[in-house]
Structure 1
Amino acid sequence: MSNIENEENGIKPEQKNLSSFFTIFKLIKFSHTIFSFPFAVMSAFIAAGGVPRIRSLLLIIGALVMARSCAMSFNRLVDAKYDISNPRTAYRIQLQNHIGKTNLWFFTISCTILFIVCAGMLNRLSLIISPAALLVIFGYSYTKRFTHYSHLVLGLSLSLSPIGAWIGITGEITTAPFILALAVLLWTAGFDIIYACQDLQHDIETKLHSIPKMMGIKNSLIFSSVLHFFVVITLLLFMYFTNLRYVYFGGVVFVGIMLIYEHSLIKPHDLSKINLAFFTVNGLISMILMVATIVDISIFC
């Protein structure tokens, strides 16, 4: 819509731009940043052995937000032909039309550049590995076209957050953040498998790949529960590589209880509570574990 058309309809250009800006955040589901943000923050606190420098923490958060934003907007662009035929995601096309493809590409490229800038301002190693991170997060969008294990690639994408945060603080690569990253990978893959169950029919019709398509819903839910069992084991193992103690352990117990609750909500014949299991439960898991970790560090370090 041109500026003249906007004015004729009582819409000022700046109002249109502001509306498009907020529509982008709705399109990329900015609220889902809650899944990776806490793990980056807790990793930064552990790496620093306490409260990290504010500048470093802000740059880490900025890099994480930019990375996720460019990855999600890129996903919406390249998956548009699939989203339009899926009743669950068809609304994304309406949002894209409101924003404009050119504006969405501009947003994607801008966030990519800002991610690299934030990484470079942290330290040299962060800058060097930033292209590899982009390769993973952009590559995820294509995986459903050729492999059933795209859920694991999504997990890998989110698992980069604690690794990146650790390197952003220390400028070094050590074992500890990779253990935490493994927990994030298993956790994300597990809940994404649950979420993907509702797209089974669409995946079959469009010849896309997924674990629910390969295993069926019942076996996929079992596989997801196995992954989540190992999440708890990995989080406990993480204590061995850090100075975390009792409060963190309590956080892990909470995670285990919430994962059990999550799986109790979903039945092979009843997927009606998927949104509760996906967003609310997993959002609590990440936030409570982060808080428990920070409190633990504050007390014992």
Structure 2
Amino acid sequence: MSDAAFLPGPSGGATAPGRGSGGPQQHDLGHVRAFLRLVVIEHSVFALPFAYIAALAACFEVSRSVHWADLALVTVAMVAARTFAMAANRIIDRAIDARNPRTARRELVTGAVSVRAAVVGSTMALAVFLAAAAALSWLCLALAPIAVAPLVVYPYAKRFTDFPHAVLGIAQAVAPVGAWIAVTGHWSWAAFVLGLAVGSWIGGFDLIYACQDADVDRRIGVRSVPARFGVRGALIGSTATHVVTFALFVTYGLMQDTGAWWWAGLAVTAAAFCYEHAIVSPKDLSRVNRAFLTANGFVGIALFVFALADLLSRGLSA
């Protein structure tokens, strides 16, 4: 959905073009849509598939059958945690966003979403996350602060380190480990390796995404790898990081004794990585969004499908 789909009205709320206020219900719906755009809810596709991979692998280990209630709670926890993280990120970074032409139309900058509404939304999302963690087990609730901490630290990281992408990776690496613990109640080194793979994968493509802001970041004092080492250095770093990601995916497969479907999925993932890095260069960043959204969204969904096929072929039942 384009930024123009719902424009700020006189009160700072979101109103549909050409329809006027449309009454309280439509006004409230506009606010909800604006908040969902604020947190880019569709980007849940990046980390959620890997939480599912870990949760289903844990189900296979425990009983060879899907624990649907646990899977539903993992879904709620993941989406709620990510919603909290994105809302908090936007709140903390709103002054920076206002100084960057690429982000100056974000909802907190334009007034489509008020700071108060964003705070309320992020608080509600955090409460839902904690409730889902508590419903899973006391251990999940006790470990919840460990999952929340890097989500809050990340938006501040660009103020004190040239490597905020690493903090983002750490925040995302928690998902598979948490999903495994949610199902089994115990630690898994295989889930930890999968978490490292997810963290390096997301940190690696965040390096690509940050390249489009390198010049602005230098001017306004935001720290990042592209701002510090240049676009070429960031792209080299992203390639190296994704090589590590692929090695970690291989390691996970070996630790879990996966079958042919997993390895076929890794072949597809390798092709997607090659495509992602081939379409972006220091001289041409026009396809960054294609690399960021299309290629990486495909990696998450495709690898989940192949991982599910592998588990089903080895005996996982509904």
Summarize the Cα distance change of 1:89–1:285 in structure 2 as closer, same or farther, 3 Å threshold: same
Counterpart Cα distance in 2 of 1:94 and 1:67: 20
Q: Which of the residues 49, 57, 60 maps onto 1:46? A: 57
Asked if the contact 1:148–1:210 (Cα under 8 Å) also holds between the matched residues in 2, the reply is yes
Counterpart Cα distance in 1 of 2:78 and 2:110: 23
Post-superposition offset of 1:10: 4.2
TM score, norm. by length of structure 2: 0.90
Q: Which of the residues 90, 94, 106 maps onto 1:76? A: 90
Number of aligned positions between the proteins: 296
Counterpart Cα distance in 1 of 2:35 and 2:108: 11
Post-superposition offset of 1:93: 4.1
What CA deviation, in whole Å up to 9, does each residue of 1:158-181 have, x standing for no partner?
111111110110011121111001
Equivalent in the alignment of 1:11: 22
Q: Which of the residues 232, 237, 262 maps onto 1:223? A: 237
Equivalent in the alignment of 2:162: 148
Residue 202 of structure 1 aligns to which amino acid in structure 2? V
TM score, norm. by length of structure 1: 0.95
Equivalent in the alignment of 1:121: 135
Asked if the contact 1:84–1:93 (Cα under 8 Å) also holds between the matched residues in 2, the reply is no
Equivalent in the alignment of 2:42: 31
What CA deviation, in whole Å up to 9, does each residue of 1:26-71 have, x standing for no partner?
1111111110010011111101114421110000000000000011
Could you say what the CA RMSD is over the residues aligned between the two structures, in angstroms? Answer: 1.4
Equivalent in the alignment of 1:58: 72
2:96 is equivalent to residue 85 of structure 1: no
Post-superposition offset of 1:13: 1.8
Counterpart Cα distance in 2 of 1:88 and 1:75: 16
Deviates more, 1:155-164 or 1:10-19: 10-19
Post-superposition offset of 1:95: 6.6
Post-superposition offset of 1:250: 0.7
Counterpart Cα distance in 2 of 1:194 and 1:28: 20
**Matched residues, percent identical?**
32
Counterpart Cα distance in 2 of 1:168 and 1:206: 42
SS at match of 1:235: helix
Post-superposition offset of 1:240: 2.2
2:203 is equivalent to residue 195 of structure 1: no
Equivalent in the alignment of 2:197: 183
Equivalent in the alignment of 1:234: 248
